């Protein structure tokens, strides 16, 4: 069978969702059969999208080597720089705290594709070069 079931029950904001990775017409047929068995009589939303490739471990190791070089040369810890760069180059999301305070958090870098993460790293590197950071062999 050419279908891989991903997290059969995925919690979303308002309900549960079924997720499938489909690589062929036969796999799509099998996914539809599985979804048909899951119908509960409630309206359903079906979304088809191209799966984007997530960043690779090699990219991740290189990114953290860059961030550690920045940390070593400019101060602050690597996690602080990571948060700073997410806010600066990816964007922010507002989080409302229980007391009503709103804080801005950097958007997650884990959802970036290989290409998007590469672009993000180039922004971080260019920023660091402007600040005089010299990169180690690991980065």
Q: Which pTM was predicted?
A: 0.61
Q: Give the chain's domains with CATH numbers.
A: 3-38 (no CATH), 57-130 (1.10.3790.10)
Long-range contacts of 53-60 (CB under 8 A, 24+ apart): 53/113, 53/114, 54/110, 54/112, 54/113, 54/114, 55/109, 55/110, 55/112, 55/113, 55/114, 55/117, 56/114, 59/114, 59/117, 59/118, 59/121
Residue 112 has pLDDT above 80, yes or no: yes
Q: What is the residue-averaged pLDDT of the chain?
A: 82
Q: What was the pLDDT predicted at 75?
A: 94
% pLDDT > 90, the chain: 45
């Amino acid at each position: 069978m050419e279908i891989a079931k991903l997290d059969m029950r995925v919690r979303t904001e308002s309900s549960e969702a079924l997720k499938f990775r489909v690589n062929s017409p036969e796999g799509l047929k099998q996914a539809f059969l599985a979804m048909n068995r899951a119908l509960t009589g409630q309206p359903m939303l079906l979304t088809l999208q191209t799966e984007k490739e997530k960043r690779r471990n090699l990219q991740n190791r290189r990114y953290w080597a860059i961030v550690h070089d920045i940390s070593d040369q400019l101060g602050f810890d690597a996690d602080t720089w990571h948060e700073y760069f997410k806010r600066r180059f990816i964007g922010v999301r507002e989080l409302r705290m229980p007391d009503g305070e709103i804080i801005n958090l950097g958007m997650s870098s884990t959802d970036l594709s290989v290409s998007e993460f590469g672009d993000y790293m180039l922004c971080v590197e260019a920023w660091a070069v402007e600040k005089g950071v010299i990169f180690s062999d690991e980065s």
